[in-house]
Amino acid sequence: MTDYDVLIVGGGVAGLSAATFTARADLDTLVVNDGVSILHRNAILENFPGFPAGIDSRLFSLMLQEQAERAGCARLDAKVTDVRPADDDGFVVKIDGGSNDGGEDGDGTISAERVVVTSWSDASHLDGLDLDLEDSGSKRYVPVDDDGRTDVEGVYAAGRIAEQYHQAIVSAGHGSQVGITVVHDANPDFYHDWVTPEGYFTNRDREVPEGCEEISEDERQRRARKAHDRLRDYLEEWEDERPVPHPSFIENMN
């Protein structure tokens, strides 16, 4: 059984946003994802800040995934079937099928100190937890506090399953907020995830706080060039993909 600091259920916008922050804070993070994000159904994403003319939804999702992986997050393509408290601390997560980044079998169990739930379409994997889920028609929501904590210590929820607005930018913001909550719960000394110019803290006779990094001007330019080059590669190499149909549409076609 593999141990992780954080296991995130769902690899959509909320899950990958949370994972980016937890992984960058050196928490051993695993995202378990089953299928494709609902974002893949969109024709084009036109209301996410920073993209004046919009961006292809599937390209945006791919970029989110790479960013989380570059931060150090591991990924497992499988279905989470059950989450239960462990005999000691943390949780035991049962998974079914799929493979990880190395192509290894995904059946079995995984232990994690903390669990972040972001997958929305099916919440049955939470039945083993003492959560007071709220039902609304065919959907179930997880009540959370202002920072994404549930009534079960160590379990968090982000995005649509936490009854946030059904928008990519809201899922990104809430996922990031919950990720930061997890970081601070795991390490209260963590300050901010900031990359600052050299001397930002030290020139004021302050130690660089935990979570922050000072970089030289040469390093700033190197990272900026790397970021620009990677974005250019994405835009030049991207091959258009049609949106994923709604499941009910596929059923009607068969």
pLDDT tens-digit map of 88-127? 899 999 999 765 554 444 569 999 999 999 987 788 999 9
Q: What is the mean pLDDT of the chain?
A: 91
Short-list 139, 37, 124, CA closest to 83: 124
Q: Residue 250 — pLDDT band, cuts 50, 70, 90?
A: low
pLDDT tier at 145, thresholds 50, 70, 90: very high
Domain boundaries, the chain: 2-186, 195-237
- Are 171 and 13 within 8 A, CB to CB? yes
E strand intervals along the chain: 2-9, 29-33, 74-85, 91-100, 108-117, 134-136, 139-141, 155-157, 194-197, 212-215
Residue 248's pLDDT is what? Answer: 61
Q: What is the mean pLDDT of residues 27-43?
A: 91
Total-model pTM: 0.91
Residue 211 CA, distance from chain mean position: 19
| CB-based contact 93:129 (threshold 8 Å) | no
pLDDT in tens, 154-176: 999 999 999 999 999 999 999 99
Superfamily of domain 2-186: FAD/NAD(P)-binding domain (3.50.50.60)
